[in-house]
Amino acid sequence: MSDRLKDLQRQRALAQEQLAWIDAEIAKASGQAPAPSQPAISSAPVAPPPRGTAETARLADEILAQYQSETVTSPKDVKRGCYVYFVLAFVLVGLAVAALYFYSGSKH
């Protein structure tokens, strides 16, 4: 049996267990007798998922550290950026107004 098939069967069994628990909770909340639980469809034994080891935790930390960035922006840089965007927007609006003025003036 392939690993993918085993994994899918394990996931199906877990989902069925969760649905049975939800049905029991709904029955308990509504005051009804809980429905008898149905056995899992798969007759294959379900292996527990592999547990993490110290080695996998170390590898995970290394991967995370590789993709983390150490960018720190100072308030001074942010303030300068805001001023640059403000001036740029002001210049663009001025150019648009000038273009409209000259375009509409040339029609008359």
pLDDT in tens, 90-99: 999 999 999 9
pLDDT at 41 over 60: no
Report CA 63 to chain centroid distance, whole Å. Answer: 18
Rounded CA-CA distance 42/39 in Å is 9
Rounded CA-CA distance 95/101 in Å is 10
What's the pTM value of the predicted model, to 2 decimals? 0.34
**Buried-exposed string 26-43: b where 16+ CB fall within 10 A, e elsewhere:** eeeeeeeeeeeeeebeee
Regarding predicted confidence, which is higher, 33 or 96? 96
Instruction: Give me the chain's average pLDDT, please.
Output: 82
Mean pLDDT confidence for 10-38: 84
Within 8 A by CB and 6+ apart from 14, the residues are 46
Mean pLDDT confidence for 80-94: 97
> Which of 28-32, 45-49, 52-56, 87-91 shows the highest mean pLDDT?
87-91
Within 8 A by CB and 6+ apart from 49, the residues are 10
pLDDT-derived band at 40 (thresholds 50, 70, 90) equals very low
Running DSSP on this structure, what letter comes out for residue 71? Answer: -
**pLDDT digit string, tens, across residues 54-67:** 888 888 888 888 88
Neighbouring CB atoms inside 10 A of 10's CB total 17
Task: State the amino acid at position 17 in one-letter form.
Answer: E
